Amino acid sequence: MVRWLLRAEGVAVFVLGAALYAGAGGELLLLIPLLFVPDLSMLGYLGGPRLGAITYNLGHTIVLPVVLALAGWWLAQPLLLMAAGVTGAHIGMDRALGYGLKYPTSFQDTHLGRIGKRRDEAAARPVA
């Protein structure tokens, strides 16, 4: 039940972000490729898991789109609102798919649990 609620929450955040993006004047077809821009924060993993977790989490915490949205609203800047929408939609999409904020131990260790196959399970399966 909890897993389902967390994923439903992710879908809701995705819809809210997409609506903010569109409401600020963003083209919906452009939203599709823009959804993957926040994943550029994964490049931090080139410097190791600790740096990677820091850069990834900075680009994937809900605080970022909230700050961007407030700044966009306060400054009457649709571009900031669109950036908030894209970032929020991306975070919602990730959460709906079960991806969370990263721990510095490994990319697979997230606040929503471990992602991917466990090493002992992968080792126990025969290769076809």
Give per-residue pLDDT as tens, 42-82.
Answer: 999 999 999 999 999 999 999 999 999 999 999 999 999 99
Task: Give the Cβ contact number of residue 15 at 10 Å.
Answer: 14
User: What HEC string does 61-104 produce?
Assistant: CCHHHHHHHHHHHHHCCHHHHHHHHHHHHHHHHHHHCCCCCEEC
Does residue 122 have a pLDDT over 50?
no
Residue 57 CB neighbour total at 10 angstroms: 20
- In the chain, the percentage of residues whose pLDDT exceeds 70 is 84
Domain ranges of the chain: 2-102
Range 98-123 average pLDDT: 68
Which DSSP symbol is given to 109? E
pTM: 0.83
Q: CA of 37: how far to CAs of 68, 79, 124, in Å?
A: 15, 15, 36
